Amino acid sequence: MKAWTLASWTLAAAASAVVGWAAFAPLSVDSRDEPFEIPKGTWARRMAGNKVEILPQRIDLTLGLNDQLLLRNLDDVPQQFGPVLVMPGQSFRLPFEKASTYSFDCTAHASGQMTIVVADAPVTPWERIVWRWERLRKKTRA
């Protein structure tokens, strides 16, 4: 019983430490780029009748953290990324400086639109926790 209580307390302390860190530690990222790549062979796969989607219909960015959309074309032919025609081996980096919702023409999506939502950097402890959680979810999905 005593060992059980001690383990519970240790677990609670560890959880508090993680939440405290997530709420109060300064946010930092290795790069401000939010990258999307067209892999080599994409054109061939499309020509073979496969559906290949690179850009999601909605992209979320955060000012000061990941506020640069980076599109890379690793294929052998020019590729249209939303509104941008990117040549083979070329990249396109689009910075954002204002929090807003941006709509771009995008023939790849049924709606004909691609939306980029740029949010202000998290300020409150709760916003930091949410941002870290979303970041973690994105990384684990990738």
Partner 1 sequence: MNRAARFLLALSLAATSLLALAVDPNPINLKAGVFDPPQPAAEFPAGVHATDQGDLTLARWHGKVVLLVFGFTHCPAVCPTTLATLAQARKLLGPDAAAMQVVYVTVDPERDDLAHVRDYLAGFDRSFVGGTGQPPVLAELRRRYGATAQKIPPAGGGADYGMSHSTTIWLIDRAGRLRALMPFGHSAEDFAHDVRQLTALK
Kindly list the residues in this chain that would bind partner 1 in the complex (CB under 8 A): 69, 78, 80, 83-87, 90-95, 97, 102, 104-105, 107, 112
Q: Which is nearer to partner 1, 23 or 68 (CB)?
A: 68
Q: Which is nearer to partner 1, 96 or 131 (CB)?
A: 96
Q: Name the minimum Å distance from CB 5 to partner 1.
A: 58
CB 71, min distance to partner 1, A:
9
Phi, psi of 78 (to 5 degrees): -60, 145
Quote the least distance from Cβ 130 to partner 1, whole Å: 27
Half-sphere exposure of 134 (CA within 13 A, CB side): 12
In order of 53, 67, 78, 105, 106, the CA distances from 110 in angstroms are: 12, 26, 21, 11, 9
Q: Which is nearer to partner 1, 32 or 135 (CB)?
A: 32
> What is the smallest separation between the CB atom of 9 and partner 1, expressed in angstroms?
52
Q: How many Å apart are CA 14 and CA 16, to the nearest integer?
A: 5
Q: Which is nearer to partner 1, 116 or 129 (CB)?
A: 116
CA–CA gap between residue 62 and residue 121 (Å, rounded): 6
Using CA atoms, how far apart are residues 98 and 63, in angstroms rounded to an integer?
Answer: 7
